[in-house]
Every structure is written in structure tokens, then in C-alpha cells.
Copies of this chain bind each other. A is one copy, B any other.
Amino acid sequence: MRKIVIVGGVAGGATAAARLRRLSEKYQIIMFERGEYISFANCGLPYYIGEVITDRNKLLVQTVEGMAKRFRIDVRNLSEVTAIHRDRKTVTVKNIRTGEEYEETYDTLILSPGAKPMIPPIPGIHEANALFTLRNLSDTDKIKAYVDHEKPKSAVVIGGGFIGVEVAENLVKRGVNVTLVEMANQVLAPIDYEMASIVHAHMRENGVNLILEDGVKAFEDNGRRIVLNSGRTLETDMIILAIGVQPESQLAKNAGLELGVRGTIKVNEYLQTSDPNIYAIGDAIEVKNYIHGFETFVPLAWPANRQGRLVADHIHGLDVKYNGTLGTAIVKIFELTVAATGNNEKTLKQLGIPYEVVHVHPMSHAGYYPNATQMTLKLIFDKETGKIYGAQAVGKDGVDKRIDVIATAIKGGLTVRDLPDLELAYAPPFSSAKDPVNMAGYVASNILDGMVETVQWHEIDEIIANGGTLIDVRTPKEVACGTIPGAINIPLDELRERLAELPKDKTIYVTCQVGLRGYLATRILHDNGFRAKNLDGGYKLYSSVFGAKH
């Protein structure tokens, strides 16, 4: 009987174990978990702190006993695997309850150790009393107990990634004054700066004191005072350290397994490490970027789960492989949903890959049906082939749906030209006859077809500073509420009659509210012999980044 040993029983590990059993009653399966719990709801932890989830038991997706019984798996929790002996195919296991150590043999080993919070060597960090990280249920219990009993008035969250913003929101829900400190110029690295700007405003509106482009220099007074790199100091009752995670690869490294980027465990397309008897899955491994093929580190739940399934299938002899990670991610922040799939501009710039971008601001569903809200949807693609490189969306409703549709389109090999052809479900409570994804596809296709040229939000100020002509084709009433400094107001419906006011010898830049009227205007200008470029995303996107201007 083949003996399969799994190290780590939370996400991918538990999935692999269950799938192995479904594949065959004949495997001997042992699953070691260092912590007390297997298969708990990691992604739900911040919401338990915020009392959005009130029943702690709900976080326990699968109990040790339940899983052992149902899947006939030898589940050993509070059991840490401390060494792998590849020569004799055994692992050393430490029973955390008793301190006792023993060896266990394996035919096949699956490593699913996960990732742990990074703890940088900041002066005073070890003396800080109420400093927490959030990885597991025990961390969650500590944070929640502190909030419940110490009733902190203030908290500083360090790091604006998914966990940081989720914890910030949930502490606000508990009545805590939250400051979030982020080293970069934006929160949520998977989206680009202009999209994050919308999130920044929303977090501030909801009471988060957001400090960007600053980091922690030192913790003082047992963590009651934080000194930032800028010299600014923050007094606080508690600290959440959420600057990121790093793969738990020490065990693999000690066993001489090959490592990948950022200390990950290197695996092949079958999720085998450099030792073919040892597989690795989940947050600890290096994955290939689905679109551009580069090696990367994407600690997310979906890939862990998928890999858990595939590793079981491959061990069972099925012809499967892991095709890489797209990096689809989503987070709720107060009333906003922020989601992304594929690669962002920052990544493509770093890789030196040319790309084109469009931003649209469609309604979540038919504008005439109650509760429609406007979202910002960004599409990144190859200007030559129309290949979809990525998408990002921010809005109050329907954002998850549009990113999922685009993630599916990417997996289907569809290009931006195919997006208008997606026959998506329309009735007024759900969408419009042109869904936001159709709309983004139309706008991108217009660029591919040469129907319109665009400029981006970050280019227009400099263009005007250098003497460029920008016309704002909205109504005077709209323009009175703010416009791009230097813009000349010619309402779209007057444009055909006022062409004589415009120079024929230089490019005319056009803006409107969201980009649609600007597009119509550039078409009119083009057909009348002018050269014109539309400001992609219009004044709405521009003012999201720079604020209202007059």
C-alpha cells in the first residue's frame, strides 16, 4: 500500500488528502499539522475580529476527527515535521503536546507548509507588547481577546496588503481609530496606482488614517509609540504587523530541495520539487505567471486549493499539470470591492513588455433600475494582438462578476476583440445590454482598429504645461464642478458648430466625464480633418487621482 505523507493540513494539504482518498481507498495517508486545527477558514479570520463572523466554530471548516473518520486519514495535529530524510524517505516529527520526536516513512511526500508573516528587524519590535501578526486561528484569538478586553482606542496597521486593509476595516468596525502605514505610494499592490487612489479616498472617508510612502523606523515605549521613517510619530494602543508573508521553505531548504524566487520551493509543472518523490503546493511554492511565464510567488487560496487537487491526481497517475497562476484576487474594503486578474501596469513596465490600457466607468446594472452604482474597470492588453494581459476593477457592486468574466476570457484565450461578443446575462437588476465587460472590449477594440487614440491620466498635465490644447466636451454645469486646469469647454453638442475655434496644425486633446463623449468628439474632429486624442477614463479617473480641480 502506497504511503503518502502530507506536511500541513490547512488549505492545499487537506484538499490533497481528501482527493487522494476519493481517488482510492487503498492509499495510506498521514497528514501532519503543526497547529491545533486543520482546514480552518484563513480568509475569514479578519472578519471574526470584526465580529462580522460571530460564531468561532464556523471558522473550523473540517475538524481533525471529522476528516479522519470521513476520509480515513491519519490526521496528526500539533505535530511538526522538523526534518526530511530523503535518503531513507522519512520525516522527523515532533509531537508538540509531548515534545517527543519520531520518524515516519513515506513513499510520496507532499509539502504544504504555507507562508508566514514577515517580521522585519525593526528596533524595539521585540519589546512591543501589543504587537500582533495574523496567520492562524490562535493569532486571531489573541487579537480578538485584546480588542474585547483591553478595548484599545487606537491601532496602527503596518502594511496595506489584503490582510492589512481587511484588518483595518474590521478594527474600525470594532470602534478602534485605525492608522494604516504603507511604505509604497498605494495600498493593494495587485492594482495600479490610479485604481488604488479610489480605494485611498474610500478608506479615508471611512475613518482610516492612511499614511502612504512611509515606513516604521522604530517602536518605542513597548510599542506604544511608533517612529516613522519620515520622523513622524504615532501613539497607539495596538499594532498589527501585516507587511507581507514569506514562504515556509526552511524544511525544504534543509532537505536540499531546490528553491525559487523569494525563497519559495521550486516545483515543476506537476508540482514536484527537485526530488520527484516530494511534491510541494500552496503558499510556499514558486509558480509560473499564467500570462507571461515568469516565476513568481502568489500566496492565495485558489491556487493552493487547485494545486492540492492536482497533486493528488498526479500522484494517482492522472495526466494533469498546473498551468500557472493568473493571480486573480479580490478584497472587500468597507463598501468597495477591489478585484484584479492577470498582470498590472507596474509588472509589465518592470518586465519591459509594451501594453495598452483603457479605463471605463460603467454602471453595475441598468442605470434606471434602483441601486445601480458606477465602477471603474481597467483593461490592459497587447496593442498588436489584443491579447488580454490583465484587468482591475473597483466599485460597490458587480466588480467580482466582471473580473471573473475577464479571468475566464483569459483562460479561454480570448482577446479584447472577443469581449464585445460575450453574451452575458442581461436584465435591468443585473447588467446592461452592453455589459461593462462588453464596453471595455469595445473601447479597447476601437484602439486596436485605429478608431481613436488616447492619452492617460498621468500624461495630460504635462501636455497642457507644454502648450497642448485640451477641450472639455461636457456641459458648462458639469465643468463648473471641476475640470482639468487649462481645459477649454466646448460641449459635445456644440462641437460641430465650433470647429473653427480649434487649431488644425496640432493635436487636440479631448476630455469628458468618463471618456465616452470624448470619444465621440475625437471621432467628429478626426472626420473633420483634425488630429485628436481622447483622455482615457475622462475627468472621473483624473479626479480620482488628483482630486477635484478648478
Contact = CB atoms under 8 A, between A and B. Distances in A.
Contacts of A330: 425-427, 430-431
Contact of A413 (B72, B332, B366, B412): B412
A44 B428 contact: yes
A411 B422 contact: yes
Interface in A285-320: 290, 300-306, 309, 318
28 contacts: A22-B523, A23-B523, A44-B369, A53-B369, A61-B368, A69-B493, A162-B427, A301-B426, A302-B426, A302-B433, A323-B421, A328-B423, A329-B427, A330-B427, A331-B427, A337-B430, A341-B423, A403-B425, A404-B404, A404-B405, A404-B424, A407-B425, A409-B411, A411-B412, A411-B422, A412-B412, A412-B413, A412-B418
A421 B423 CA distance: 21
Contact of A328 (B318, B404, B424, B492): B424
Question: Which one of A58, A332, A404, A528 has the highest number of Cβ atoms from chain B below 10 Å of its Cβ?
Answer: A404
Interface in A423-448: 423-431, 433-435, 438, 442
Contacts of A360: none
Given A306-B420, A427-B332, A433-B301, A369 B407 contact: no
Interface in A56-101: 58-59, 61, 69-70, 72
A337 B331 CA distance: 24
Nearest to A331: B427
A460 interface: no
Q: How many copies does the complex hold?
A: 2
A492 B70 contact: yes
Nearest to A524: B25
Contact of A400 (B401, B407, B411, B449): B401
Interface of A: 11, 21-26, 41, 43-44, 47, 52-53, 55, 58-59, 61, 69-70, 72, 162, 290, 300-306, 309, 318, 323, 325-332, 337, 339, 341, 366-370, 400-401, 403-405, 407-409, 411-414, 418, 420-431, 433-435, 438, 442, 449, 451, 492-493, 496, 519-520, 523-524, 527-528
Contacts of A434: 305
Contacts of A53: 368-370
Given A44-B369, A366-B44, A408 B425 contact: no
A69 B43 CA distance: 53
A403 B521 CA distance: 36
A4 to B, nearest CB: 16
A219 B332 CA distance: 55
Contacts of A326: 423
Given A330-B426, A369-B47, A405-B408, A25 B527 contact: yes
